[in-house]
Amino acid sequence: MAANLRQVAERAGVSVRTVSNVVSGFALVAPETRERVQRALDELGYRPNAAARHLRGGRSGLIALVIPEIASPYFGELAGHLADEAEKRGWTMLVQQTGGDPRRERELLDGVHGQAVDGLVMSPWALSPADLRRRPDAAPLVLLGEQDADGLLDHVVIDNVAAARQLTGHLIATGRTKIAAIGPQPHLTNGTAAQRLAGYRQALSEAGLPADPALEVPVAHLHRSDGAAAMRELLSAGTAVDAVFCFSDQLALGALHAAAGHGLRVPADLAVAGFDDIEDGRFATPALTTVAPDKVAIARAALDCLAARLTAGGGPAPARHVVAHQLEVRASTG
Amino acid sequence: MAANLRQVAERAGVSVRTVSNVVSGFALVAPETRERVQRALDELGYRPNAAARHLRGGRSGLIALVIPEIASPYFGELAGHLADEAEKRGWTMLVQQTGGDPRRERELLDGVHGQAVDGLVMSPWALSPADLRRRPDAAPLVLLGEQDADGLLDHVVIDNVAAARQLTGHLIATGRTKIAAIGPQPHLTNGTAAQRLAGYRQALSEAGLPADPALEVPVAHLHRSDGAAAMRELLSAGTAVDAVFCFSDQLALGALHAAAGHGLRVPADLAVAGFDDIEDGRFATPALTTVAPDKVAIARAALDCLAARLTAGGGPAPARHVVAHQLEVRASTG
DNA sequence: CTGAAAGCGCTAACAT
DNA sequence: ATGTTAGCGCTTTCAG
């Protein structure tokens, strides 16, 4: 069943070279020869051996997606788009989970699957920009999210500061004045949460509202349970709040759940907004206001980046690729 | 940076054979030699070449997860467990999406990534059992879900009939009598929906309740929007309903959303239950009653299956592997 | 236009 | 205990 080039060549009465040419459609082959070879190919059900091609050509056709967890809806949706885009470019995508563990991030950065990967798309959680730059593996790397890597590494981002400012501005525009922020992650080197916090503060300051530390609730992770816990913390502390900006939709869904548990009506008593535009948010009760990053564009930008690095010249200098986002106002903020 | 065995051997003043032995920890090597080789290995930063190993040994260390879409929460959660379990077994997992397209399912079944995969875990959607059996690729295959493949293919399932019966029984036990079923998929060869429907009907019949065709609402897909549309259809048709059993949590979340849109209170006016126990369901408002398949056990069973097939003997005969499930009663059914 | 053959890096059978 | 070498399947240089 697994025929190789030599067997096909024998059957067609030609040399391996000619069969290879037919298979790759590369050089000139006489039409009659081509037909004969093609028949042999079909009859034997020839399928090129990826390992041999890889060994010979140095390209595996594999790219790795390295993320904290694939079960998280945001990464799940992104992975879907990345897989689609990878396929269009002839790549197969493998998935590696880090769980946000710095050792595991290091390990994968140093070589996924025995270096058998043409490129990496990574969302680091724990590793610093300096750590990220230091790696023995030569495979091109593109980061997802704000790493502030001094422009030495490709990364794809949205303008988190602007987006957070817009969203907070929207909450203010609906008349809210005591707006909490759930989601700062001071323990992480990943700069995303910091930027969203900055945008939030900017909006408050622009509106002449005070920045109250009691309204900024840090979280360890971005799971729904963390959002719920943060919300309960806020409510049980008796802090006056009329809106919550959560730094992810997952946090917001948790917050929504906790708010309902406290008998609060959303948005009448409390406005809740998230970030990421995951599908759950659209069907939450009430539907969640959020910032929608253009996920397809993120996937495209990341893979275009890798593709550019794999061209002969190595492509342009590493850059920060900013992708569009949009404010999605839904029922949860009235 | 990318040193090979020969370079290491030269540096250590030994043969490639010895270096290979040290690397794989295989045969007996004199301690002093071993140490010298190890130093050379470290100094040159040697890392084995996966392509060469694969070509030589016939094992790529790759397994493929072939599913309709990774962005779906159920598959996302499952993929997370599969990636974890794969890693424990020394495999790297790649993901291929079919979108439920029969041509694409066929194509992937015939060989993922140029056959460079040691095994496949697949959730077929459109291909019939007969189609599934006919394939040129020799890589072991294990199916997720009910394929009724005449015992000729390995597949991992939960007892869908029993689970659906239990869940419907629970709805009946809470006093509901007009129980709709959202989710039959008569157009699919995948038998999962059919089994859940069977379990639902069994429970009704056991309780002496009539099976009303108007209460069985088929869906094209399992997205939240399909659940919402089905729920709206049911409500606008004026059918009397006091409970809905949705064949997936996604459908149920959509139904919940639509019910809220119609001003119905859940569970007071309407009980809603799902299937799959995705995280969204736990944090929905109200929290969703559901059937929780043991996803970790599913991942383990699938990979154990592949591992068994890859042993010398080819492992035991193909089988249907039944994994445990549990009824999770939450607020949505009172 | 087609054939012969080198060689990618590794493992393992065969030597010593 | 260690050295030598064939060969996995493919692409591509060199001949013709």
The shortest C-alpha distance from A21 to chain B (Å) reads 18
In this structure, is the CB of residue B116 within 7 Å of any atom belonging to strand D? Answer: no
B61 with A113: Cβ contact below 8 A: yes
- The yes-or-no verdict on residue A27 having pLDDT over 70 is no
Q: Give the tens place of pLDDT for each residue, B187-227.
A: 887 889 999 999 999 999 999 999 999 999 999 999 999 99
Nearest to B114 among A48, A260, A284 (CB): A48
Nearest to B50 among A47, A97, A114 (CB): A114
How many residues are given for chain A?
334
Long-range CB contacts for residues A102-107, cutoff 8 Å, separation at least 24: A102/A126, A102/A127, A102/A131, A105/A66, A106/A131
The SS3 assignment for A152 reads coil
Q: Give the tens place of pLDDT for each residue, A48-91.
A: 999 999 999 989 999 999 999 999 999 999 999 999 999 999 99
Per-residue model confidence (pLDDT) at position A136: 78
In this structure, is the CB of residue A312 within 7 Å of any atom belonging to strand C? Answer: no
CA/C1' separation A136–C9 (Å): 19
Is the four-CA dihedral B116, B118, B123, B125 of positive or negative sign? positive
Residue type present at position B200: Y
Confidence of residue B326 (pLDDT cuts 50, 70, 90): very high
In this structure, is the CB of residue B28 within 7 Å of any atom belonging to strand D? Answer: yes
| Residues of chain B contacting A136 with CB distance shorter than 8 Å | 1, 45, 47
| Residues of chain B contacting A278 with CB distance shorter than 8 Å | none
Q: Give the tens place of pLDDT for each residue, B151-197.
A: 789 999 999 999 999 999 999 999 999 999 999 998 887 889 999 99
CB-CB contact of A300 with A210 (8 Å): no
Which of A1 and B105 is assigned the larger pLDDT? B105
How many residues are given for chain B?
334
- Minimum CA–C1' distance nucleotide for B8: C9
Confidence of residue B136 (pLDDT cuts 50, 70, 90): confident
Most confident of A115-124, B33-42, B135-144, B295-304: B295-304
Q: Give the tens place of pLDDT for each residue, A31-57.
A: 888 889 999 999 999 999 999 999 999
CB-CB contact of B99 with B68 (8 Å): yes
Nearest residue by alpha-carbon distance to C1' of C13: B17
Task: Scan residues 10-49 of chain B and list those with Cβ within 7 Å of strand C.
Answer: 16-17, 20, 23-24, 26, 46, 48-49
Task: Tell me how far apart the alpha carbons of residues B244 and B249 are, in angstroms, rounded to a whole number.
Answer: 12
Q: Percentage of residues in chain A with pLDDT exceeding 90? A: 75
Q: Give the tens place of pLDDT for each residue, A292-321.
A: 999 999 999 999 999 999 887 778 889 999
Confidence of residue B27 (pLDDT cuts 50, 70, 90): low
The SS3 assignment for A114 reads coil
In this structure, is the CB of residue A72 within 7 Å of any atom belonging to strand C? Answer: no
Nearest residue by alpha-carbon distance to C1' of C1: A29
Residue type present at position A51: A
A51 with B60: Cβ contact below 8 A: yes
Task: Tell me how far apart the alpha carbons of residues A262 and A258 are, in angstroms, rounded to a whole number.
Answer: 6
Q: Give the tens place of pLDDT for each residue, A234-269.
A: 999 999 999 999 999 999 999 999 999 999 999 999
The shortest C-alpha distance from A40 to chain B (Å) reads 16
Omega before residue A213 within 30° of 0, cis:
no
Q: Percentage of residues in chain B with pLDDT exceeding 70? A: 99
A71 with B62: Cβ contact below 8 A: no
CA/C1' separation A91–D10 (Å): 19
Task: Tell me how far apart the alpha carbons of residues A134 and A151 are, in angstroms, rounded to a whole number.
Answer: 14
Reading the block at residue A54, the tokens are 């890889």
In angstroms, the Cα distances linking A190 to A66, A69, A100, A185, A196 are 14, 15, 11, 9, 12
Per-residue model confidence (pLDDT) at position A312: 73
Nearest to A279 among B51, B93, B224 (CB): B224
Domains for chain A: give ranges and CATH numbers.
Answer: 5-47 (1.10.260.40), 60-157+295-322 (3.40.50.2300), 160-293+328-333 (3.40.50.2300)
- The yes-or-no verdict on residue B298 having pLDDT over 70 is yes
Confidence of residue A149 (pLDDT cuts 50, 70, 90): low
Task: Scan residues 40-69 of chain A and list those with Cβ within 7 Å of strand C.
Answer: 52, 55-56
The shortest C-alpha distance from A230 to chain B (Å) reads 14
The SS3 assignment for A117 reads coil
Confidence of residue A196 (pLDDT cuts 50, 70, 90): very high
Rounded to the nearest integer, the mean pLDDT of chain B is: 93
| Residues of chain A contacting B47 with CB distance shorter than 8 Å | 111, 114-115, 136
CA/C1' separation B29–D2 (Å): 8
- Minimum CA–C1' distance nucleotide for B32: D1
B256 with A49: Cβ contact below 8 A: no
B62 with A94: Cβ contact below 8 A: yes
| Residues of chain A contacting B257 with CB distance shorter than 8 Å | 283-285, 287
Per-residue model confidence (pLDDT) at position B116: 87
B83 with A93: Cβ contact below 8 A: no
How large is the average pLDDT for residues B52-61? 92
Per-residue model confidence (pLDDT) at position A32: 87
Task: Tell me how far apart the alpha carbons of residues A190 and A144 are, in angstroms, rounded to a whole number.
Answer: 10
Per-residue model confidence (pLDDT) at position A189: 78
Per-residue model confidence (pLDDT) at position A3: 87
Helix axes A50-57, B50-57, angle to 10 degrees: 140
Task: Tell me how far apart the alpha carbons of residues A311 and B326 are, in angstroms, rounded to a whole number.
Answer: 52
Per-residue model confidence (pLDDT) at position A175: 96
| Residues of chain A contacting B116 with CB distance shorter than 8 Å | 49-51, 54
Residue in B224, B222, B196 with CA at minimum distance from that of residue B280 = B224
Confidence of residue A176 (pLDDT cuts 50, 70, 90): very high
Nearest residue by alpha-carbon distance to C1' of D3: B15
In this structure, is the CB of residue A109 within 7 Å of any atom belonging to strand D? Answer: no
How large is the average pLDDT for residues A160-177? 98
Per-residue model confidence (pLDDT) at position B1: 57
